[in-house]
A and B are shown apart, each in its own frame.
Chain A
Amino acid sequence: MTVSNPLLPHLATLQEVIDLTPDVRLFKIEPNDPAVKESFDYQPGQFIFVSAFGTGESPFGLTSVAYRKDSLEVAVRKVGTVTGSLHELEPGATVGVRGPFGNHFPMDEFKGKNIFIIGGGIGFAPLRPVVTTIIDHKADYGDLFILNGARTPQDLCFSDEFDTWSASPGTRLELTVDAGNDDWTGRVDLIPTVVRELALSPENAVAIICGPPIMIHFTLIDLKKLGFEDRQIVTTLEGKMKCGLGKCARCNVGDKYICQDGPVFTMEQISSMLEQF
C-alpha cells in the first residue's frame, strides 16, 4: 500500500507580503501545483502549516475565504524561530503549505442569528473569514457586531477593511485599544468593558471570541453576566502543534486534539473538557 506522505508540504509561492502592524505581516500564498491550488478548499476556522524550509513549520489560521478563489492568506506575528524566518521572506519566495486542518466555524448554524465577533490583537485573524463570509452573504444572517481591540492603535489588525465592514448593512464596528496615542480619538477601553457597556443581547445570538487567554477569560465573565449560555459562545483553542494529523500527540486538551476535534470549540465543549487550561 503506498500512502502519500501527509507530512510532505506542497510547494507554494509567496505572492504578497503586507504589514498589518509593527510585528504582524499578512502573507498571501499560492500553491505552485495548479491542481493543488484548485482543490484547496477550506472553511473559516481551519488552519494550515506553513514551512520556512531550513527552519521549520508552524500552524497559522487561514484568514481568507476559499469561495473568493484568491490566495491563501495567513497573518503571521514575529514571535519565534519559524515566524522570524517567514518575516525575512519577500514575494516570490518558496514556502511549504500543508492542510487545511481542523474543524471549522459552523457557519450554517450561525445563519439567521445575530453574530457578535470579538477579537483581540492578532486573535482577530481567524475571525476575519467569518466577518467576510457574513458580510458577503449578509441576508443569510441577522445583525453583525464586530468588536476589534488591540493594545495600541497600531496593533489593530485589518484596519484597511474597517470602512468596508462599517458600510455593510446591519453591521456595527467598534474599535477599542488598551492605550491610545496622540492621533487616536476612539475608545480606550479593555474589551470586556466594551462588552459590558454595550450590553450585548444574547437573544438569538452567537458570540465568537478569539484573542489572548486573559482577554477571553474576562470577556467570558461579562458575556455570562449578560445571559449568554455556554453553547452560544464559540472560540478557538491554541496549542503547540507539530503534525496537524493527530499523530504527534502534542496538542491534546484531555482527550480532544486541537488539530482534529478543534480548533473551534463552543464554551459548552470546553467546560466539559478533562483538562481545563
Chain B
Amino acid sequence: MIEEIRTKARELLESGTVDCVIGYERATDGINARPLFVYDAAGADRLIFDQTCTHNLVKYLRNRKDKVTGIVVKGCDSRAVNLLISEHQIEREKAYIIGVVCPGIVETGWNKKSDKLRDICQVCRQHTPVVYDFLVGEPPASEPEVEPYPDVAAMEAKTPAEREDFWREQSSRCIRCYACRQVCPGCYCSECFVERLDPLWVGIRIAPKENEMWNSMRAFHLTGRCIGCNQCERVCPMNIPLSLLNRKLEKEVAETFHFQAGMDAETPAPFATFEKDEKIGIGE
C-alpha cells in the first residue's frame, strides 16, 4: 500500500501535475504519524500509511487554493473534500486525490502504542473514499452492518440532570485552545463567531458558561456538515468528548432529513438550503 502511495506521489511531482503532495510521515516519538508536505519527488520516500494516520489532511487544502495539490485521504476525509467543494471552498480540479481504503485508525497518543480501533472507526460505514483520482487498497465487498450511534444512544438514555452535570464538568475543563476548530475542515470562517466582539456572542473569558456556549455553538454550526472524522475530540488536550455533541446532531439530521454530509458534492445540505414550501414537521 505504501509503495503505491509513494510511487504515485513521485509521479505527480515529477510530472508537475501537482506542486505538493500532502500525506503522512512518522512523528518524533517513532510510533505515531504526522502530516507531511512533500514538494519534491525525493521527499516521497518519507511518506507512510498505517493505522496511526489519524489526521484529516483536507483541512490544509483550503490554504492551497491556487495550486494543484496531491492529497492522501481516507474514507471520512474524502467526505470533507466533497463538503468543501459543495461550499465553494475548494475546486475539484485543484486537488489530485489519492484515496486510501482505510483499515481503521487506532487510538493515538504521544508515545503510546495501541491496537484498539478508535470508537468512531468501530462504527465506520465508509472505509472506501467517496471521491478520488487514484485508489490504493482493495475496497471491501460490503460495509459492515453496525449500530451507528451507540455513544449518542447511551447519552440520550441519561436523565437531563445527569447530562447537565456531565457537560458542566466537561465545560469546566475547556481551555479554549480552539484546537477543535483549527483541526476541523468544516471550520473555516475568516472571523469565527467566538472572536467577534461586536456583537459579542461569547467573548474571551475562559470560564465554564462561555466554554459551554463555545462548544455547543460550534457543534450547531456544523449541523449537517460534520463528516465524523472526530479529529476535534482526538486533539482536545483536556479529553472532552466533543464528538458526542457533533454526533448527536448528525443523528438528528440523519433521522429527520435522511442526509449524511459529504457523500457527494452536489446534494444540497439541509441547513445550507432554503426552499419556500418545505415542511419538516416541526411545529405542526
A→B interface (CB under 8 Å): 81, 84
Q: In the bound complex, what is the Cα–Cα distance between A81 and B199 (angstroms)?
A: 10
B197 at the interface (CB under 8 A from A): yes
Q: In the bound complex, what is the Cα–Cα distance between A84 and B199 (angstroms)?
A: 13
Interface set, chain B 197-222, CB cutoff 8 A to A: 197-198
Task: Give B200's nearest chain A residue, CB to CB.
Answer: A81
1/0 per position for B78-118, CB-CB distance to A under 8 A? 00000000000000000000000000000000000000000
B: contact size bracket: under 10
Q: In the bound complex, what is the Cα–Cα distance between A81 and B197 (angstroms)?
A: 8
* B197 cross-chain contacts in A, Cβ below 8 A: 81
Task: Give B197's nearest chain A residue, CB to CB.
Answer: A81
Task: Give B198's nearest chain A residue, CB to CB.
Answer: A81
Task: Give A81's nearest chain B residue, CB to CB.
Answer: B198
Would you give the shortest CB distance from A79 to chain B, in whole angstroms? 12
* A81 cross-chain contacts in B, Cβ below 8 A: 197-198
* B198 cross-chain contacts in A, Cβ below 8 A: 81, 84
3 contacts between A and B (CB under 8 A): A81-B197, A81-B198, A84-B198
Q: In the bound complex, what is the Cα–Cα distance between A81 and B198 (angstroms)?
A: 7
Q: In the bound complex, what is the Cα–Cα distance between A84 and B197 (angstroms)?
A: 12
Would you give the shortest CB distance from B244 to chain A, in whole angstroms? 35
* A84 cross-chain contacts in B, Cβ below 8 A: 198
Would you give the shortest CB distance from A29 to chain B, in whole angstroms? 23
Q: In the bound complex, what is the Cα–Cα distance between A101 and B133 (angstroms)?
A: 59
Would you give the shortest CB distance from A117 to chain B, in whole angstroms? 35
Would you give the shortest CB distance from B104 to chain A, in whole angstroms? 43
Q: In the bound complex, what is the Cα–Cα distance between A84 and B198 (angstroms)?
A: 10
Interface set, chain B 145-204, CB cutoff 8 A to A: 197-198
Q: In the bound complex, what is the Cα–Cα distance between A81 and B204 (angstroms)?
A: 15
Would you give the shortest CB distance from B78 to chain A, in whole angstroms? 39
1/0 per position for B233-264, CB-CB distance to A under 8 A? 00000000000000000000000000000000
Would you give the shortest CB distance from B96 to chain A, in whole angstroms? 35
Q: In the bound complex, what is the Cα–Cα distance between A89 and B197 (angstroms)?
A: 19
Would you give the shortest CB distance from A88 to chain B, in whole angstroms? 13
Q: In the bound complex, what is the Cα–Cα distance between A117 and B198 (angstroms)?
A: 37
Would you give the shortest CB distance from B221 to chain A, in whole angstroms? 23
Would you give the shortest CB distance from A56 to chain B, in whole angstroms? 8
Would you give the shortest CB distance from B54 to chain A, in whole angstroms? 32
Q: In the bound complex, what is the Cα–Cα distance between A165 and B166 (angstroms)?
A: 69
1/0 per position for B60-86, CB-CB distance to A under 8 A? 000000000000000000000000000
Q: 3 smallest A-B Cβ distances: which pairs?
A: A81-B198, A81-B197, A84-B198
Would you give the shortest CB distance from A215 to chain B, in whole angstroms? 26
Task: Give B196's nearest chain A residue, CB to CB.
Answer: A81
